[in-house]
Amino acid sequence: MRQNNMVAMILAGGRGSRLYDLTNKVAKPAVYFGGKYRIIDFPLSNCANSGIDVVGVLTQYESVLLNSYVAKASLWGLDAKDSGIYVLPPREKIEGFGLYRGTADAITQNIDFIDYYDPETVLILSGDHIYKMDYSKMLDCHNDNKADATIAVLEVPLKEASRFGIMNTDATDRIVEFEEKPKQPKSNLASMGIYIFDWKKLRKALLDDVKNPDSNHDFGKDIIPGFLNGGLHLQAYRFKGYWKDVGTIDSLWESNMDLLYRSEELNLHDSAWKIYTEDVTVPAQFIGPKAHVSNAYINQGCVVNGTVKNSVLFTGVVVEEGAEVSDSVLMPYTVVKAGAKVQRILTDDHITIGVNQTVGQPDGEILLVAKNVKGD
Amino acid sequence: MINTLGIVSYDDFVEIPGLTDTRPVPSISFMGRYRLIDFVLSNMTNSGISNIQIYLKNKPRSVIEHVGTGRHYNINSKSGKLRILTGEVNAQAEVYHHDVSAYMANMQYIEDAHQEYVVIAPSYMIYKFDFNEALLAHKENKADVTVLYKTVDNADTSFARIDTLTIDKPRRVVAIDKNQGKFKNRHISLSSYIMSKEVFIHLVYLAHETSSLYTLRDILKDQLPLMNVMAYPVKGYVASINTMPEYYKVSMELTDYEMAKELFNPQWPIHTRTNDSAPTQYATEADVSGSVIANHCQIAGTVKHSVIGRDVVIGKGAVIEDSVILANVEVAENAVLKHVVVDKFARIVHKNELVGTPDRIIYVKRKDVI
């Protein structure tokens, strides 16, 4: 039997173009994070840990890898009899083939999927945020307030509030106004892009939205304002904890570094809320006789015989003798050859830094290394 | 899929005081993230065997949990099968509990198997091998039984009490003896056998009728003059984890990546159950070298030439050298451990020095608080 009456839909179709070469071949949710994970492992693990059984993943941009990855539902334990992860890329229909024109349109085009499970509520998630959250608590808040929709919000510093969609609320945290990136924010409650909707009400709004020629078919721009204008009950759900949209190379690097410097907030060692991911069949890490390792986050399959500090090493990274790695994020199977020195870089997977090469600067922007660097 | 039933043999004679007090041999932790049984199971499934029986003497809990349905060893959950079978012998005396009595108790499941051949291999032998190779030779030689072996030059210091083979030309086995450690150069039997299911069943019945104390190895030894028993050499790294000194020595030896590479080949992955553990976190104060470290550890101390299991916490100023630390162990700040094997969930929190010698390893029991 299903554990609750909520279906989760993860929006995973975006490219994340500010990640440059990292998203040439894969969508942003499939980008690696934290030594062994992919970004989408976070919402998927949150779903699994929150007792959600049915998860739809809406893919569009470069979706082959992402589709085959999330289809292995057993990785997140979502392969029990009444549960599953369902990949929903755009499809050909009787009225023709249509790409998803916006976040809301992606859901509209899959109304049949959601109807099949006949849920009371639908949880809309983004596939490219790093955070740990118990959605069942948010559902309790939604039900307790008899809300038509509930939006998870994060308190951000007021001076940064103009970068976010801001919710203005009354004393009971009922949302009275929504402003997208306001110049003069009235509140510091930023939308996290996590929504719980009463399915019947959302379904109606989506069917109205699809007929509106002026709509962007977007949750933030169209559906939420539409709910507010229609006098429906929108509740804010305050989330406290680590949350980051890793949209740029700098923020992706920084978020990985948070595992070293803000491990109290982003703690992946908590056995009560594990983040699940594909487990690669590799041995434990070999830290060689010539190695010096300090302040580092290192995954299994690494072979380190050089110096590593202030860095995150993903599966199968090799740091040869005499090589030095500092303040860097090395994606899976990066090889730093003997004598090479890298500093403040973030590599794509399977990159080789050649013998005796120096890559990266002591300060300034993080350097993305997406091509092999030839050695001596 | 090859037409072969895999049998992970009954671990009747191996006992490693301490490590096997609370668990059977197959589930002994090894090299940070594995259990011994991962090697034999991976050899079998990588060879295309998808029907496997695991024979256990007692305390099956940890093995059942670890191997599950066998999905993580690549066994198809519909067309394949992983079975855990126990001795189920009523006899009180320990001497009657051995491989043959376990096979007799489960004969129905052996007879009912559709496969034409069987591969029988123990979990305490660590090696990487494609059984197809030996099966091919077995058929070409028209052998009744093929025994895997490794020619070693350290039988005086390793492989204690393991069978040795005397091999005639062309590789016919003429004698099986126990290694008494008197000679350096020996052909070490991997106690891994290939034979037709028919021959296997015949040998089990024969052993059972001969004596209630007889094992498969005993009857095979008896049958050497009557049967065509051939030896087949295994290349690469071979170790036997049948005593505490061997367990320790092999663990230490495999911290050398050049050595370990022979065993851990990406083309022949050793599968294991994932624990969904996070990467390991090294603090600024950490100083780690010459070691194999599993995931999910938090290390703030010094670790040299050691094997550290999953989810081990090592406090600031602690020093661990030449030691094997199993999963979920806590080593408090400033503790000093040398030549120690620490079993799971133990906590070294009060006493700050535990120093053994290479010949006298200190063993800390599971869940002990020291």
pLDDT per residue as tens digits for the range B168-207: 988 999 999 999 999 999 999 999 999 999 999 999 999 9
Give contacts of A259 with chain B, Cβ < 8 Å.
281
Q: Considering only alpha carbons, which residue of chain B is nearest residue A41? A: B276
B281-364: which CATH topology? Answer: UDP N-Acetylglucosamine Acyltransferase; domain 1 (2.160.10)
Q: Which residue has the tokens 């066994």?
A: B75
- Please tell me the predicted confidence (pLDDT) of residue A3: 67
Model confidence band, residue B59 (pLDDT cutoffs 50, 70, 90): confident
Q: What is the pLDDT of residues B203-230, one digit of tens each?
A: 999 999 999 999 999 999 999 999 999 9
- Please tell me the predicted confidence (pLDDT) of residue B15: 85
Average pLDDT of chain A, as a whole number: 95
Give contacts of A290 with chain B, Cβ < 8 Å.
289
Q: pTM of the full predicted structure?
A: 0.94
Distance CA B48, CA A350 (A): 29
Give contacts of A296 with chain B, Cβ < 8 Å.
281-282
Query: What average pLDDT does the segment A76-87 reach?
Result: 94
> Which of A287, A297, A330 best tests the B interface by mutation, with the highest count of B CBs <10 A?
A287
Evaluate the omega torsion of the peptide bond into residue B170 and state whether it is cis, within 30 degrees of 0. yes
**Is the CB of A275 inside 8 Å of chain B's CB atoms?**
yes
CA distances in angstroms from B70 to A123, B41, B172, listed in the order given:
34, 9, 35
Question: For residue A206, how many C-alpha atoms fall within 13 Å in the half-sphere facing its CB?
Answer: 22
CA A222-A224-A229 angle, to 5 degrees, is 90
Query: ipTM for the complex?
Result: 0.94
Give contacts of A260 with chain B, Cβ < 8 Å.
281
Q: How far is B202 from chain A (nearest CA, A)?
A: 38
β-pair type (B163-168, B186-196): antiparallel
Q: How far is B366 from chain A (nearest CA, A)?
A: 20
Instruction: Record the tokens describing residue B9, joined without a space.
Output: 């043999």
From-to residues of CATH 3.90.550.10 in chain B: 4-263
Q: Which residue has the tokens 């630390």?
A: B325
Q: What is the pLDDT of residues A364-374, one digit of tens each?
A: 899 999 999 99
Q: What is the pLDDT of residues A177-211, one digit of tens each?
A: 999 889 999 999 999 999 999 999 999 999 999 99
Distance CA B295, CA A175 (A): 44
Q: CB-CB: which of A269, A290, A296 is closest to B278?
A: A269
Q: Are B97 and B91 a contacting pair, CB within 8 Å? A: yes
**Is the CB of B244 inside 8 Å of chain A's CB atoms?**
no
Q: Are B171 and B231 a contacting pair, CB within 8 Å? A: yes
B138: left (phi over 0), alpha (psi -120 to 50) or beta: alpha
Q: What is the CATH code of the structural domain delimited by B4-263?
A: 3.90.550.10
Chain-chain contact of B290 with A275 (C-beta, under 8 angstroms): no
Distance CA B209, CA B3 (A): 29
Chain-chain contact of B278 with A263 (C-beta, under 8 angstroms): no
Chain-chain contact of A297 with B280 (C-beta, under 8 angstroms): yes
Q: What is the helix, strand, coil percentage profile of chain B, to 5?
A: 25, 30, 45
From-to residues of CATH 2.160.10.10 in chain B: 281-364
Q: What is the pLDDT of residues A284-300, one digit of tens each?
A: 999 999 999 999 999 99
Distance CA B6, CA B54 (A): 8
Buried b (16+ CB within 10 A) or exposed e, A50-86: bebbbbbbbbbbbbeebbebbeebebbebeeeebebb
Give contacts of B266 with chain A, Cβ < 8 Å.
282
Chain-chain contact of B289 with A291 (C-beta, under 8 angstroms): yes
Chain-chain contact of A281 with B270 (C-beta, under 8 angstroms): yes
